[in-house]
Structure 1
């Protein structure tokens, strides 16, 4: 019988307050408190996000402990997101985690938020395969802040081999959604509207970017000019074509991502693909990658279940677990960072 190793993970990089408790690779509880206040402003307001984390974190931790059916004194270590993210939100999470560590006299483990999205696949039954990917693999990191192709050789040996030159894919989804009159949360709502649309109704140009890098700034401008031109001729163009526009945008973005990762498999000779980050919850992207993998027998695809695609405490806890096993403990003096740092 495995010895218990219980880690609590605290995630507060943006607007969702997430806390999870795991025993080894098994999730005992996974609590997410959403901040609905931001819908009113059409996007995340950093000051409000940090205030609501301060209000919600104590509640989320208590609920996570209650649902996990453990005593808080059974927790072996506390892990938390150190960055990248919103500085106010990160400071709230860091302050709470440090206090928790001191109060219970347990080790502190800091986590890179991007790395945690990748390692979520090593939680028991976290992806659609219900199995763990073997090293090495290629990870397509797609989120609101990041678009990267990462070669993963081990839990803590990761190399970025492709990245966005400007905007992230998540930002592209949100900005295009706003052009179409779809407000916060833009990306998920665009995905929902696309379900009743015809994805080949409109053809959009794809950015011509060398090697394995991405660019979405020009793509957004192309969509904006296309819509502007159509609206001059027909003021009801968006209203009459909304579902088809959403579906066509999703298809094009999905194809951009798929073409790049296909190029990466040829360049590296690695055909084990892992999707990670909030945008991996997008239905069209998931569908296209699964279909491509079925046609290409060399491919082995791992896609997180939707509750593990979005920001969650379990991904922080599992990363903390692997750090704990390697004795990668952190000082109480650590400081959060807002920009992406190398693994």
Structure 2
């Protein structure tokens, strides 16, 4: 089955053509990063206007790259939650119109779950093997930082999430404080390579590193507000040399990523998950990828890192995931709603080997 995927949850207008869940025929993205950079973050109404301007050309480009016509599309998938409502509405209106015009099934996709699937889109054999389950997924982006455990029957639950800032948000805010521009993740990753990760002893929230015991209910939760505040005071009223800036950035990045590594490793052992999957925009970070590889080796777990092209927002993960829903008989009608928030009850994940989806 050939599925067209559409993604417009934030500031990327994306379209992709995917066959049978993993054969990516085309993936096209129009980024709005430069447009929003001057504001230090995404402006929802501005993002929606750009989606409206870009969505038709982006879909046309994807079809041209895949060398197929719109009449060959057998299903339409679109991110319906979570995300910025003005931005989501543009993609959903387009997808619903196309599904109605061509009389093909429509599937609304949870962006958060799609990120998890993006890590496996080129390795479907890993998802077909029940021995790889339960899978632990660390989802780290500008909007989300959470640990998910997925059982072989598809039941999935969020076992830990951030109590304040997401990891990507913590990087963006640090970059803004330091005057490094937006988005913060890539520039922090680059500058940190020449810095000393031990120059500053920044706090690592909810890890017990400061001698304060972590409450059991927060064992797998995250908090990045403390490290951000500590960094703010460390540079306040100071003029930093290039090396001093690199040391601050390297120490800050090490603190943020260190928490992610520690929590993921602890959760993998606690829930006895043979596979650790890491996905989302922050999964592009080279320091995080290196440290997670070391941790996975130390505790004897298989590590699946989302390819960088599927870490950031894209439509291939949307179309690929939709195939699994459709093969289980699920499709959504034109009354399908959009939702800005993430529901912690993730329901049944359809790509698990023993998943049985409820009736549509």
TM-score, normalised to structure 1's length? 0.92
Q: Which moved more, 1:66-75 or 1:47-56?
A: 66-75
- CA distances 1:255-278 after superposition (whole Å, capped 9, x unpaired): 111111121122112131000111
Contact in 1 for aligned 2:120/2:306 (Cα 8 Å):
no
Structure 1 residues 308-317 or 235-244, which shifts more?
Answer: 235-244
1:301 to 281, 300, 303: 303
Aligned to 2:27: 30
Unaligned 5+ segments in structure 1 are: none
Asked if residue 13 in structure 1 is aligned to residue 9 in structure 2, the reply is yes
Q: For residues 282-319 of structure 1, give each alpha carbon's deviation from its aligned partner in whole angstroms, at most 9, with x where no partner exists.
A: 111011111222333x2110001100100000010011
Consecutive unaligned residues in structure 2, runs of 5 or more: 207-213, 347-360
After TM superposition, the structure 1 = structure 2 runs for residues 113-192 of structure 1, keeping only pairs within 5 Å, are 113-124=111-122, 132=127, 134-154=132-152, 156-192=154-190
Q: Which residue does the alignment assign to 1:202? A: 200
The one-character-per-residue Cα deviations of 1:99-142 (angstroms, maximum 9, x if unpaired) are: 1101111000000000000111331259xxx9558321100111
Q: CA RMSD in A?
A: 1.7
Query: Using the alignment, how far apart are the partners of 2:265 and 2:78 within structure 1?
Result: 34
CA contact (8 A) 1:119 1:155 kept: no
- Following superposition, the deviation at residue 80 of structure 1 comes to 0.3
The alignment partner of 1:22 has SS state of strand
Instruction: Tell me how far apart the structure 2 counterparts of residues 156 and 308 of structure 1 sit (CA, whole Å).
Output: 22
Indicate how the Cα distance of structure 1 residues 203 and 238 shifts in structure 2: closer, same or farther if over 3 A, else same. farther
Find 1:94's aligned residue among 77, 92, 95: 92
- Quote how far apart the aligned CAs of 1:327 are: 1.1
Match of 1:253 in 2: 256
8 A Cα contact 1:124 1:131, kept in partner: no
Shift of 1:244: 1.6
**1:21 to 1:154, Cα distance in 2 relative to 1, 3 A:** farther
Q: Report what 1:48 is aligned to.
A: 46
Instruction: Name the residue aligned to 1:275.
Output: 278
Number of paired residues? 330
Pair 156,312 (structure 1): closer, same or farther in 2 beyond 3 Å: farther
Conserved? CA contact 1:17–1:56, under 8 Å: yes
SS at match of 2:332: coil
Residues 119 and 278 in structure 2, CA contact (< 8 A), matched pair in contact too: no
**Partner in structure 1 of residue 323 of structure 2:** 321
Please say if residues 14 and 85 of structure 1, whose CA atoms lie closer than 8 Å, have aligned partners that are also in contact: yes
Tell me which of 91, 98, 110 is aligned to 2:108: 110
- Alignment partner, residue 72 of structure 1: 70
Q: Distance in 2 between matches of 1:72 and 1:116?
A: 23
Counterpart of 2:265? 262
Between 1:97-106 and 1:155-164, the stretch displaced more is: 155-164
Which has the higher mean CA deviation after the structures are superposed, 181-190 or 27-36? 181-190
Deviation >6 Å, runs of 4+: none
Q: CA deviation at 1:154?
A: 4.4
Deviation at 1:238, TM superposition (A): 5.8
TM-score by length of 2: 0.88
1:155 deviates by: 7.9
Please give the secondary structure, in 1, of the residue aligned with 2:273.
coil
Q: Please point out which of 328, 334, 337 is paired with 1:335.
A: 337
Report whether the alignment pairs 1:310 with 2:306.
no
How much has 1:188 moved relative to structure 2?
1.5
